[in-house]
Chain A
Amino acid sequence: MTTTRMTRRQFFEKLGKGSLVVGFSLSPVAASILAEEAHAASVDSQLTVLSGLASGSPPQNDAWLTIDHQGKITLFSGKVEIGTGTQTAFSQIVAEELYVDVSSITYVQGDTSQTTDQGFTAGSKSIQQQGPLVRRAAATAFQALLGLGGSIGIGHEKYAKLFNGQQITLNSNGSALLKDPSKYTVVGQPVPRVDLLDKFTGRFSFVSDMALRGMLHGRVVRVNGGTVSKAKNATFQSFDDTAARSIPGYVQTVQKGNFVGVVATTEWAAIQAAKKLQVTWTNGAPLVSDSVEANLQAALTNGANVYSPSKTQEVVVTATAPANLNFTRDYYSPYQMHGSVGPSCALANVTSAPDANGIQATVWSGTQGVYPLQQAIADILGLSSSKVRVIYVEGAGCYGHNGADDAAADAALMSQLVGRPVRVQWMRWDEHGWEPLGPAMAHTLTGALDAGSNVVSWSHTVNTPPHNSRPGGGGALLAGQETGLIPANLPAVSINSGTRNGPVNYNFPNIKLTANNVQPYQTNGGTTLRPLVNTLPRSTALRSLGGMSNCFANESFMDELAQAANADPIAFRNQYVCALSGGSGSATSVPVPGVDPRAAAALDAMAQRAGWRNSLASPTRGDKVGKGVAFARYETVETYVAVYAEVEVTTATGDVWVRRVVVAHDCGLIINPDGLKNQIEGNVIQGISRTLIEEVGFNTTGVTSLLWASAIPTAPPATIYPVVHFNQVPSSIEIVLLNHPEQLTQAADNVPAWGAGEAALGPVAPAIANAIFSAIGKRLTVLPITKQRVLYALAH
């Protein structure tokens, strides 16, 4: 295994024996900024390296590529491996520039005492943001090695001889010559994932596999033995731990404010004691109940719950002809879960005084952001953040901001309260019942065609709660809220959150996108009120954020307009598809007239592979068959994705089976084509699951979907949250990768590759819905498209 951890002191001891160190700027990659900082920070970054033990927030230049005296190459990465293969991809990038094998790269990731602050590993931005920095750092190192006497030869074991005992510290050079992609031998190859062999042999340690000497097992009581114990707005009254105390191994009941749990010497004892702990709560204010779907939809669109209406895109152009046909349609998607297969787990060791390095709380977590979590834990424990060290250890796939950070805060608070190291493993019902959810979205689309069937106007209004409540303060986390902290004020706008992929990549004469931001708890115009009173379930970043539902609404409506125009759906999209100006933000994005050749290429590649004009094979499971397409660029300005879906519908039961999916995918320069395909397949399958199956049930006290399955069907609200089973996935997922090595240039601000972690998810939903329309002539506008909804549509 190539992942190792060492202390900063060990690190510098190794340096002393002769190493080459490259610090690279982790600030935004704009050329001017990079060049300026590389110059300005050259002294700082060397000082940072040499001083070794920076206190407080580390400076920006605090990440290294090192080659030690034995030729060992180590990449210190602020972006972490969350099961998507980025560790392998970064290793490929470094290996390529240094002419070494991927296996010779050691990877240190996500540690507030060792790696730089790169915010969150999120938004499909690891390769996009950190890739260029890592590539340039490696190129800088290689240039320096050449300068030391390249005659000794290429290869990591030979490099160390070049230093000859010297310590050399460099700053990443924005003009260090990058390898010509035509000479690539590692990047662009389907290199096997560096972590999978260990994962297939049981040697890989996830965070839940860690143990600390003398640790106790903790369980928090929010759900008790599979039954909801605590309402979302509950206030603690009292507990009776008489029965819990009889459990062999029981150590202590832990309570602070509304935070209640137990610790025990064994995991089973902790589970049993938590189950036997009798807690009395006062329920508090009710949530808006979703037991009748209309309640939630009404709540989302009720102006009283909108704390901030914002117009995020407006294009006004006089159309050449007046509207002839007008269209309007509502779309809706429910609360959905991340649903990690492994529930969140964390370990913490909080001591009464700081250790020799000034650390008083050490937390091991599968968090996507060690630095933001460090601050949140500091808030909850009442410590300064410099006394908190957060170390990333991979958990089960998270797909966004799941319960990982909450479990970390639970473990830290328990450890502080009992004075021992504590491991907190959430139970399945804790994860289902208390993870922060992807929020529901309500859309209204209107559009018009002129007499010539040209689109002359398009508007989209979306109402949704926040799609991001990641930690940054302790009030974002359950343990913080339970001990009196409140969440940060709500954002005034929802750019690239609820409105991600709200703007379309189509050149229509009149476009308007309005986002109405819905408050999930009581606020005064977005300012959080104290005490915290939740009105909706806690919501946050779920893979693609608003992108999936916005794509579902936009691309379903696009299909409806194409149908009304009597146009082929691909030709209709080609007629309008365009680039957008306005950079990565979507606020000021406006269509750039003229065809976007990469968009057209993606649509064409998808159509060719799908055999779009061919007639469909007869159904094998259902009695109706249909095909549909959708297109989107991730965040409207990045990765191009065109999706084709083929479905079978059983009209007697309402069952939908997606039997074939084709994806054409252009994310620029491809680092690892097999890893990329793996991600795209994952997007397709998770997309199918979220389109057809997934919906969180909740009532006035909280989430009621606490397990994956139940033998007993129950009346709404749902008590289960199922995800796709193996026999529900397609027979075939075909992926056409469009590689663009020419996107790599020598420019200091060059970003040759965009992300792929969630780009394909958005267009999957509308491609399926459009295929269902093609099969049965009904537009399904509410997710998930369950058999009940299909039957209802068929009957009306």
Chain B
Amino acid sequence: MATDKQTKIRTKTQDGVTDVLVLVSHPMETGLRVDPKTKEKVPPHFIQKMSFFLDGKEVASSDLGTAVAKDPLIGIKLKGAKPGAKLKVTWSDNKGESASEETTIS
């Protein structure tokens, strides 16, 4: 059974500018929501850091909070990224979970 990847990266280059969009399947729980079944507050569970690397060099880094929406869609732009360049995105959350995904700029 094929499982959907948790972290997906989409890049689109036009006129020397590359749009990068990262979609992560993540609950981004604020810690305020009450579970309707247990009546308890669901503890915070959210991505805190997401970093972007182009051919191994960090080009952007972001700090995210609980106000970022569930299944965050984060976008950055790059200039002059060459086709074939490797773009890596890493993220980590407040529970210590993390992931890394890589793609090639087309």
Q: Do A and B make up one complex?
A: no
